Amino acid sequence: MTHSAAPTSARAAHSAGGAAKLTIDLTALRSNWCYLNGKVGDGCTCAVVLKANGYGTGATEVGKTLYHTGARVFFVALPEEGIDLRKELPHAEIYVLNGLFRGREKFYYDFNLKPVLNSLEEATEWSAFAQGLDEELSAALHFDTGMHRLGMSIEDALKTGESPHFLKGIKIDLIMSHLACADTPDHELNAKQLDRFQRVCELFPGARKSLSNSAGIFLGADYHFDMVRPGIALYGGNPVPDDSNPMLPVAHVLAEIISLREVPTGDPVGYGASRVTPRKSRIATINAGYADGLHRLVGSSDDQPDGARVYIGGHFAPIFGRVSMDMIAVDVTDIPEEHLSRGAPVEIMGAHVNVDELANFAQTIPYELLCSLGARYTRHYKR
């Protein structure tokens, strides 16, 4: 798969206001889902993880797009997210990953949301609610195979297998676990979790099984089972960090130059005077900062001169000095003059500055970077 060019590059692409523009490329999103769906082949469902507003890209738009592409199973973190999604997708299968919140059973029931039951206590509560309605209610059972975050223990699996009263009134749609180290293919925990999950699955022969997140898909067919649950890969993050990214970029952040100035040799730029010009420099000020999700760590200083970069007119330019709330300074001394003017477009993230590169400079992961995209962007969905 090859990366497409940024979805907009002309000055006309900016909004009437002064906010930077966030474009979500739904064509790339569809391509990413189709690519992952093709990797798992027939007999395995490629679900969609829509936590945190679709990793910052807009859960309802992503959900609708991928439902029309062929996805039918969706995972959210909270029941509120599931309710919003249900309004758009009346026939989709929607699971709530964070489980059954105490006393909120009716919310799940009213909006046909399936809780991922993470403890025997949750299973008992969902069972009691189902029996009170004299109905059979669907749910997933989540078992902890080594991550120690959510999920029932292996001992709990044995209890539920040997004592069906724990699950009376519950239709078990799915047995699942979650890989802790799938993005490190050689990590010994992957094989251990696979073995433990296989043993749990033997107790529930009639239910669908799911283990793999985005990176888990690339561990091979043994990890696919009946359903995979990609998240970050759908949104353009690299699911195989030690190899080239097979996914297309989905989130594109386009800002603009709002000021240009000449700065003499030896003068500081930005807060804290942390970066001093090593030569006579041309500095562009760009209308995006940490309020827009551009973490302060992507900036640079004299002690740490290797900060992140932006893309202007076919050329890369380094961020110079600290990231401010609403602005960054960029050294454009080496950018040809014809690309430099107030209003000229600047790619902050997209086809040339990918989300993994930017996350690396921010000393974080692409998940956090996408989820922290600011609310004031002018949003546009490219269909």
Q: Give the end-to-end CA distance of the chain in Å, rounded to a whole number.
A: 19
Please confirm, yes or no, whether 51 is among the known catalytic residues: yes
- Contact residues for 324 (Cβ-Cβ < 8 A; gap 6+): 270, 271, 289, 290
Please confirm, yes or no, whether 55 is among the known catalytic residues: no
Phi and psi (nearest 5°) for 51?
A: -60, 160
CB contact at 8 A, 221 and 237:
no
Q: Which of 64, 109, 168, 271 is catalytic?
A: 271
Cα-Cα-Cα-Cα torsion 240, 245, 247, 250, nearest 10 degrees, comes to: 110
* Bridge-based pairing state of the strands 137-142 and 73-76: unpaired
Q: Which of 51, 168, 192, 382 is catalytic?
A: 51
- In the chain, the amino acid numbered 24 is I
CB contact at 8 A, 336 and 315:
yes
- The residues annotated with a catalytic role in the active site are 51, 271
